[in-house]
Structure 1
Amino acid sequence: MAAHYGHIGVVKLLLEREDVDLDWPDKRWLQTPLFRAAKEGHQSVVEELLRPELEDRISLDSRDKDDQTGLAIAAERGYVQIIRLLLRAGADASLVDSKGRTAMSRAEKAGQTEVCQLRLC
């Protein structure tokens, strides 16, 4: 929940603990902390979760119950800086959700022209 609400201080404290599963999804939507932070536009939380020393503890392409990725939601909502961070970290923009949509096709349909200018649409 700390990632969902952008509580960067709490996120940093949790990241210090080795016993915290950083990919633990919530029970209702199956969304991980990285997914939630990307979905809600919390750039500072996304940056923390993408620190190089955490790469073995974070899945960039985790999917929720609708087979969506955090990248797809961020693209649809126009969070350009978060999209750049995720792509730089290695997120897969070609993944398709349960309705056959990619992150960039969702951005295009939502009219997110700045996202489309990343030349991924």
Structure 2
Amino acid sequence: MKSAGAKPDSALLSSRLRRHCLACVPALVLGGLLPSMASASARDDFFHAVRFDDVRGLRSLLAQGVDPNLAEPSRGESGLIVALREKSMKVFAVLLDTQDIDVNAQARNGDTALMIASYLGNEPAAEALLARGAQVNRPGWTALHYAAASGSDGIVQLLLKNSAYINAESPNKTTPIMMAAYMGHIQTVKLLLDAGADATLKNELGLTAIDIAQKSGHRDIAEGLTYRLRKEGKL
């Protein structure tokens, strides 16, 4: 028989502690672990459906209450953006038609679905996004920068019709016409110039679209811009 001051038996204490911990497991699962696991599983299923253009699977997940604005973990891209990248256009249409969809959701680098559609030259997607209220003008990089960079002239025209700021400046003061000149898209340069782009603007390095075209090896663009600006008395 133990005295009042004796220490509790360690084996007995360990046994009781194990029983207590096991009893707590269901509460932990129900109180926190299970929802997080379910959430991760739902996200995986959601992006699997998006990547494989699985409309049936996506509709089932949405019917279960899965958020249509989930972001994938690596780059923080929305389902709309991933659908555009993967050319999952049936899924894209379903997501775009979802009541709570956020068409202006940004990835970690600031990309939006409209910007990706513009870069990929996906004019029907760009039109659909604009119809749902996609933001054309915003601080920093814009959809017009992306359309100019890829030489997507149809989308350039579409964005300009929707009041895109033609001389929008990126964080380093790059304009859409500079992007078109850098990438060698002579028709896009002409389109922007005809629409009123200012080819005399300079970026943070003090370079104009002409300078950028020259440095990028696009002599035809540099010469064309120089001719136009001299003719207009701007050089």
- The SS at the match of 2:118 is coil
- 2:157 aligned to 30, 42, 47, which one? 47
Cα pair 2:210 2:225 within 8 Å, conserved: no
- 2:217 aligned to 107, 111, 114, which one? 111
How far 1:119 moved relative to its partner? 4.2
Is 1:4 matched up with 2:119? Answer: yes
How far 1:39 moved relative to its partner? 1.1
- The SS at the match of 2:155 is helix
- 2:142 aligned to 32, 43, 55, which one? 32
Structure 1 spans left out of the alignment, 5+ residues: none
| Aligned counterparts of 2:164 and 2:180: Cα–Cα separation in 1 | 17
| Percent identity between the two aligned chains | 30
Higher relative contact order (CA 8 A, sep 6+): 1
- The SS at the match of 2:120 is coil
Is 1:20 matched up with 2:134? Answer: yes
Query: Which amino acid in 2 is paired with 1:38?
Result: A
CA RMSD, Structure 1 to Structure 2 (Å):
1.7
Is 1:120 matched up with 2:229? Answer: no
TM-score (norm 2): 0.44
Counterparts of 1:73-84 in structure 2, within 5 Å, are: 73-84=179-190
| Aligned counterparts of 2:136 and 2:225: Cα–Cα separation in 1 | 31
Quickly say closer, same or farther: Cα 1:119–1:89, change in 2 above 3 A.
closer
Query: Which amino acid in 1 is paired with 2:130?
Result: L
Quickly say closer, same or farther: Cα 1:62–1:39, change in 2 above 3 A.
same
Cα pair 2:180 2:189 within 8 Å, conserved: yes
Radius of gyration: which is bigger? 2
| Aligned counterparts of 2:138 and 2:225: Cα–Cα separation in 1 | 32
Equivalent in the alignment of 1:67:
173
Structure 2 spans left out of the alignment, 5+ residues: 1-115, 228-235
Deviating 4+ runs (over 3 angstroms): none
